[in-house]
Chains A and B, each alone.
Chain A
Amino acid sequence: MLIFCPSCNAPLAERFFRQPHVDAACSTCGTKVGLTLFPALFRPAAKIDPQSLLTAEGEATCFEHSSKRAVAVCNRCGRFLCALCEVEVAGKVWCPSCLIPANAAGPIQALEQRRTLFDSIALALATLPALLIYPIFFTAPVVVYLTIRYWKKPSSLVPRGKWRFVVALVLALLVIASLAAVIVSVIVVQRRGRP
């Protein structure tokens, strides 16, 4: 049961841990700290008796560890699992041999740690190179590719619209159209100018 000062990392005095919401101060550095405490702080760490994990005669055993007692069943493949093999993700029980390929095939949302925001990349490529004028002609096709390629790919775990993709695509198409118009007009002028 320890809480550390966020400024100096010294442990805060336990005398402050008597109310759910309390103003404390670090006795080392004097930093004022507001604490909101929850029962999990006072919950004793679960002690596991190693003997209780071992299987007794007539009991089901883990698919991977034949000496250990089965405590759960994989919701996907139905194998018996011991406490070590049981993995609970988003309310379902998985065994490691099901979880790893399932996550590799299509990320399980509850396990996702990182996402790339392709709509922001497309918008940046459609706008920032315009500051230097010429690079926009090279990045515009890339923007069109990114928009088409990643339009259906989920962008963020939290609510986020698709307006960035739309704006980027419109700008990129305008750039490509204007480039095409310039090229066509140059060709037309050259042809008319020939004797």
Chain B
Amino acid sequence: MTPEFPYVRLPGGYRGFFRKASLWEGADHILSVKGTRFNEEYRRFYYRDIQAIIVEKRARAGSWGWWIVLAILFVIALISSSEKDPPYAWVGLLALSLLLAVRLNLALRRSCRCSIQTAVSNEKLPSLFRRKATDAAIARLRERIAAEQGELPAEITQPEEDVPAAVRPPDPANPSAAQVLAEAAARQRRRSAEIGVNLAILALFILLLNSVFTFWVSSGGNQLSAGAASWTGYSFVAIGLVPVFFALQNLAGLRALLGLRILLVAIIVLSTFRVLFSLSMGAITTSLLRTAGGNSAALFGRYYTNTNGALQLAFAAGGVLLIFAKWDTYRRGEASSS
């Protein structure tokens, strides 16, 4: 008698707000289930027909949409919390930080895109997008498919030449698989480094603008209210952090760019400290007003703003100098050596 559900779930699975996908192991086929919340579409891949499982390895699972949404939420939370009761502000920021941490955790894990090839189709498997789950699923599928198809023929798996690679002279016209791999990896690192450096320059430019804005506010020559000035500053921070995170993603693993990576991490620390400190400024000013008087409070505020602006300027200028001093290293040559 056939069981009601003749499928066993394979590792992996995608569950978005609107779309979902999963992979199931059947008696003689794999069932790929894709769909929305209200329907499911099925594709069957018979073990005897599967030619290859192709996994495109991706360093990180990044998506612009998520970062933009987080940045907007961050700004909204700051704007809406700045003039209300502090507990709400902290709860909102805590929740947002948690979301950011979850997103960062997702983004920094290794990801992939998996597809399955038969003689007549090449179908994407959206449920397999994490490398760990993909490896586990493939390990299980290999056993099932090998039981159906057997192992690869010996004439295919035997080495191309009996001469060891170390004593074989390199042939530029017909590079070995290892050479192709090395060249491709170097090309990918160069591209990644270039994108990372460009994003870092953008982040430093935003930091520079923020420092100019901070000095302008501190000089008192503006007509902005204290609240509007704070919101604008926070917006600069939120917008500036997006390219910082993306730059770090692209520069990950590039040893030659360690200095730039440290600088970007320092910018994140500075920005976080600045936001947290600014949110506590109300309480600090009130306590200073009570204990030391109005002049001390105003003086503290001005010192704080100037220090803040100077630090941002120092970071931005240092970063720009760092990049332009080693421009060739960053953009081309050594950037490729990880």
Is A15 an interface position by the 8 A CB rule?
yes
Q: Which of B41, B44, B57, B117 has the most CB of A within 10 A?
A: B117
Query: What's the nearest-Cβ distance from chain B to residue A18, in Å?
Result: 6
Query: Residues of B contacting A159 with CB < 8 Å?
Result: 5, 7, 9
Q: Are B152 and A25 in contact (CB under 8 A)?
A: no
Query: Residues of A contacting B39 with CB < 8 Å?
Result: 114-117
Is A66 an interface position by the 8 A CB rule?
no
Query: What's the nearest-Cβ distance from chain A to residue B327, in Å?
Result: 23
Measured CA separation A25–B185 after assembly (Å)? 8
Measured CA separation A23–B38 after assembly (Å)? 38
Residues from 96 to 144 in A contacting B, C-beta threshold 8 Å: 110, 112-117, 120-121, 124
Total A-B Cβ pairs within 8 A: 146
Q: Are A116 and B57 in contact (CB under 8 A)?
A: no
Measured CA separation A48–B114 after assembly (Å)? 34
Q: Are B184 and A38 in contact (CB under 8 A)?
A: no
Residue interface mask A61-91, B partner, CB < 8 A = 1: 0000000000000000000000000000000
Is A20 an interface position by the 8 A CB rule?
yes
Measured CA separation A119–B118 after assembly (Å)? 34
Q: Chain B interface: which of A2-10, A165-173, A177-185?
A: A2-10
B57: contacting residue among A3, A20, A33, A110, CB under 8 A: A33
Query: What's the nearest-Cβ distance from chain A to residue B235, in Å?
Result: 30
With A15-B177, A38-B145 already in contact, the answer to whether A3 and B184 are too (CB < 8 A) is: no
Query: Residues of B contacting A6 with CB < 8 Å?
Result: 54, 56, 113, 115
Measured CA separation A27–B183 after assembly (Å)? 8
Dominant secondary structure at the B interface: mixed
Chain A: which residue is nearest B184 at the CB level?
A25
Number of interface residues of B (CB under 8 A): 56
Residues from 139 to 182 in B contacting A, C-beta threshold 8 Å: 141-142, 145-146, 149-153, 156-157, 159-160, 176-177, 180-181
With A32-B184, A112-B42 already in contact, the answer to whether A40 and B56 are too (CB < 8 A) is: no
Q: Are A36 and B142 in contact (CB under 8 A)?
A: yes
Is B109 an interface position by the 8 A CB rule?
no
Q: Are A38 and B37 in contact (CB under 8 A)?
A: no
Is B50 an interface position by the 8 A CB rule?
yes
Is B40 an interface position by the 8 A CB rule?
yes
Query: Residues of B contacting A27 with CB < 8 Å?
Result: 180, 183-184
With A6-B113, A16-B177, A158-B24 already in contact, the answer to whether A42 and B56 are too (CB < 8 A) is: no
Measured CA separation A159–B26 after assembly (Å)? 12
Is B51 an interface position by the 8 A CB rule?
yes
Query: What's the nearest-Cβ distance from chain A to residue B27, in Å?
Result: 10
Is B33 an interface position by the 8 A CB rule?
yes
Q: Are B38 and A124 in contact (CB under 8 A)?
A: yes
Q: Are A15 and B50 in contact (CB under 8 A)?
A: no
Interface band, chain A: 35 or more
Measured CA separation A34–B138 after assembly (Å)? 11
Query: Residues of A contacting B37 with CB < 8 Å?
Result: 117, 120, 124
Query: What's the nearest-Cβ distance from chain A to residue B117, in Å?
Result: 6
Is A39 an interface position by the 8 A CB rule?
yes
Query: Residues of A contacting B328 with CB < 8 Å?
Result: none
B122: contacting residue among A4, A42, A110, A113, CB under 8 A: A4
Is A56 an interface position by the 8 A CB rule?
no
Chain B: which residue is nearest A41 at the CB level?
B51
Query: Residues of A contacting B24 with CB < 8 Å?
Result: 158
Query: What's the nearest-Cβ distance from chain A to residue B255, in Å?
Result: 19
Measured CA separation A33–B38 after assembly (Å)? 34
Chain B: which residue is nearest A123 at the CB level?
B37
A35: contacting residue among B52, B181, B185, CB under 8 A: B52
Is A54 an interface position by the 8 A CB rule?
no
With A19-B157, A36-B138, A158-B5 already in contact, the answer to whether A41 and B52 are too (CB < 8 A) is: yes
Query: Residues of A contacting B19 with CB < 8 Å?
Result: none
Residues from 91 to 143 in B contacting A, C-beta threshold 8 Å: 112-113, 115, 117-119, 122, 138, 141-142
- Supplied contacts A34-B55, A38-B51, A38-B52, 7 more A-B pairs, CB within 8 Å: A25-B181, A30-B183, A31-B184, A32-B184, A34-B54, A35-B52, A45-B119
Give B residues with C-beta under 8 Å from A: 5, 7, 9, 22, 24, 31, 33, 35, 37-42, 44, 48-57, 112-113, 115, 117-119, 122, 138, 141-142, 145-146, 149-153, 156-157, 159-160, 176-177, 180-181, 183-185, 187-188, 191
- Can you list 14 A-B contacts (CB < 8 A)? A4-B122, A5-B56, A6-B115, A13-B180, A30-B187, A30-B191, A32-B57, A35-B54, A36-B52, A115-B40, A117-B39, A121-B38, A158-B24, A159-B9
